[in-house]
Amino acid sequence: MSIYNAPAQDTTFVLDQLVKFDKLCEALKLEEVNLELANVIVEEAGKLAAEVLAPLNAQGDANGAKLVDGKVQESPGYADAYQQYMANGWATLTAPEEFGGQALPNVVGTAVNELWHSANMAFALCPMLTQGSIEALIAHGSDELKALYLPRLISGEWTGTMNLTEPSAGSDLAAVATKAVPNDDHYLITGQKIYITWGDHQMTPNIVHLVLARLPDAPAGVKGISLFIVPKFLLDENGEPGELNDAKCISLEHKLGIHASPTCTLSFGDKGGAVGYLVGQANKGLAYMFTMMNHARQSVGLQGLSISERAYQQAVWYAKDRLQGTRKDGSKMPIIEHPDVRRMLMAQRAGCEATRGLALVAAAEIDRAHAGEAEASARVELLTPIVKGWMTEMANELTSLNIQVHGGMGFIEEAGAAQHYRDARILAIYEGTNGIQALDLIGRKTISDQGAALALLLQEMAGVEAELRAAGLDKFANRYAASVARATEVREWILQNAAADRQVMGAVAFDFLMLMGYLSGAWIMARSAASAKQLLAEDSAYDASFLNAKVATARFYAEHYLPRAEQHAQTLMTGLDAVFILDDDQF
């Protein structure tokens, strides 16, 4: 089933009630942007997502990208869909006006990106990676590189790729071995990059590769990596794509999912060296990558929500349609009436609403950081690994529930549930595995500042208890307050027990990530429920049925998901003991 409808009302609710979108626009000095405009944009994007991209999703899965005569041929229909996406200006949404962008807030881009990824994640990866190259160039490129490449990347006329990974350099980028040798006004790049998303295709007249490589005299390790632009076609004197550069796709991976997204092995310099141009200063490449990391990682977390939402909609459709079992009056019942199916649908719904809220709240913190709000940068740093790590773990569970709702049919490819599950599995792996996200959260984001940013977040979370009580949601308030108190205890435990010992920190990091994920979800759902109650008491523009459902879904979250925070806290505080009981050779 290719049914997909943008969850517009929930997006509006989050932008309005949690993000406080109009105030955010004031802070960003965007006088002409407001919630009404954001709603129109989301609605329009929803049409392209539902009508053009969603129907191509299953088709791209069955008929993925192929390598034909040394060129990657994208799935049928994708080039046309890309043209529509580009022609309607969607690529330009959040980019700066001086290079042809519309300068809308990041949170609007995030709300819209949710729809692209829901409709067709394999497709949407292409603009997502382009976004990364745009950010790198804006932040670190010379004026000349910006003028040559940015307008066309921003318009979507060309696409971008990110080339970090090599066979021996995955999580550990210190091992990057690709070489860059100075040659006149440019560098000659030689080496091999693997797993490069949309590394080749025929949808646009050029592709701009951003490549990490080492100069001959570079120091060893992470401090010797530089960033280069390597266009597929070199630009002629008019800035138009001309001669083919010495960089090509030599193979495509056969993968578990996202078949329409070509995952390329790119070989640079088989004929002597691909022409590359240094971005920013030498040896700063990895630091530059970190400047884009928050956005890129949040985008992957968002993909987790997107695919879970698509899977949820499919599960609801199937649960209403599939008859199994007999009612007391003898009539056949749709499976949505069975309590266990109901539980699974509620789990999907609550998971999607909590992660949507978190994704948009975190995205708005990036906007606030840009607007110079003092605590926003630290908040972005703290929330990013939670958005990436927890939301993608949730996606594995939520897309699996869709299969379960379908019963045997879920395991059969024709139903389409399996595709979402397969597609979602990469999310916990790329853009830094969730193991790496967990280490980032506990190390760089918590221990490094002695838990300062975390203390502020926990304090803010604690304040929501009063909102719950004022809304008459006392049971939720009790559970919620207990979890916030537990997380506060865990913070102390980490600072006392893990800070001095890398092994302990590594052993407990994942439980900490998950604890913070479930708690952050509860924070979002608590605020949502309190707002919904308030709106129900007023004469609001929201449907009463939507608001009542919001309160009910939040209650489900508090009863079914929040207890997991306690479980992770308990496991965490056992420390290293059980993890390292066995010697390596006992495995």
Toward ligand FAD, which CB reaches closer, 263 or 283? 263
Closest approach, Cβ 545 to ligand FAD, in A, equals 40
The two structure tokens encoding residue 439: 């280490």
Instruction: Give the three-class secondary structure for 576.
Output: coil
Q: Quote the least distance from Cβ 506 to ligand FAD, whole Å.
A: 6
For residue 503, the minimal CB distance to ligand FAD (Å) is: 11
The alpha carbon torsion through 522, 361, 401, 412 (nearest 10 deg) reads 180
CA separation for the pair 382, 385 (Å, rounded)? 7
Distance, first Cα to last Cα, the chain: 44
* Choice between 194 and 359, CB closer to ligand FAD: 194
Q: How far apart are CA 369 and CA 376, in angstroms?
A: 5
* Minimum gap (Å) between residue 176 Cβ and ligand FAD: 10
Which CB sits closer to ligand FAD, 319 or 436? Answer: 436
Residue 326 Cβ, how far from ligand FAD at the closest point, in Å? 45
Cα R_g (the chain), whole angstroms: 24
Q: Which of 303, 291, 551 is nearest to 425 (CA)?
A: 303
Query: What's the CA gap between 173 and 164, in Å, rounded?
Result: 7
User: 123 and 81 in contact (C-beta within 8 Å)?
Assistant: yes
Q: How would you classify residue 44: left for phi > 0, otherwise alpha for psi between -120 and 50, otherwise beta? A: alpha
Helix, strand, coil percent content, the chain, rounded in steps of 5: 60, 15, 25
What angle, rounded to 10 degrees, do the helices at 544-556 and 502-537 form?
A: 150
Assigned token pair, 371: 């607007």
Least Å distance, CB 192 to ligand FAD, is 12
CB of 121 or CB of 461, closer to ligand FAD? 121
Distance in Å, CB of 483 to ligand FAD, minimum: 27
Structural contact between residues 385 and 513, judged by C-beta atoms closer than 8 angstroms: yes
The reply to whether 431 belongs to the active site is yes
* Euclidean distance between CA atoms 575 and 221, whole angstroms: 31
Q: Which residues contact 78 (CB under 8 A, 6 or more apart)?
A: 56, 60, 123, 201, 203, 260
φ, ψ at 400 (rounded to 5°): -70, -40
- Closer of 242 and 506 to ligand FAD (Cβ): 506
Secondary structure class of 76 (helix, strand, coil): coil
**8 Å CB contact between 244 and 270:** no
Q: How far is CA 264 from CA 101, 126, 239, 261, in A?
A: 29, 13, 26, 9
Residue nearest to ligand FAD (CB): 170
d(CA 158, CA 256): 28
Q: Residue 193 Cβ, how far from ligand FAD at the closest point, in Å?
A: 6
Alpha-helical (H) ranges within 407-442 are 408-411, 417-424, 434-442
Residues of the shown chain interacting with ligand FAD in the complex, contacts defined by CB under 6 A: 129, 162-165, 170-171, 195-197, 255, 263, 426, 429-433, 435-436, 439
Beta carbon nearer to ligand FAD, 24 or 439: 439
Helix, strand or coil, per DSSP, at residue 71: strand
Judged by beta carbon, residue 264 or residue 516, the one nearer ligand FAD is: 264
Query: Looking at the DSSP assignment, which residues form a beta bridge with residue 274?
Result: 189
Phi, psi at residue 435, to the nearest 5°? -65, -40
Report the distance separating Cα 211 and Cα 73, nearest Å: 22
Catalytic one of 74, 135, 166, 431 = 431
Q: How far apart are CA 442 and CA 491, in angstroms?
A: 10
289 near 212, Cβ under 8 Å? yes
Instruction: Supply the residues annotated as catalytic.
Output: 431
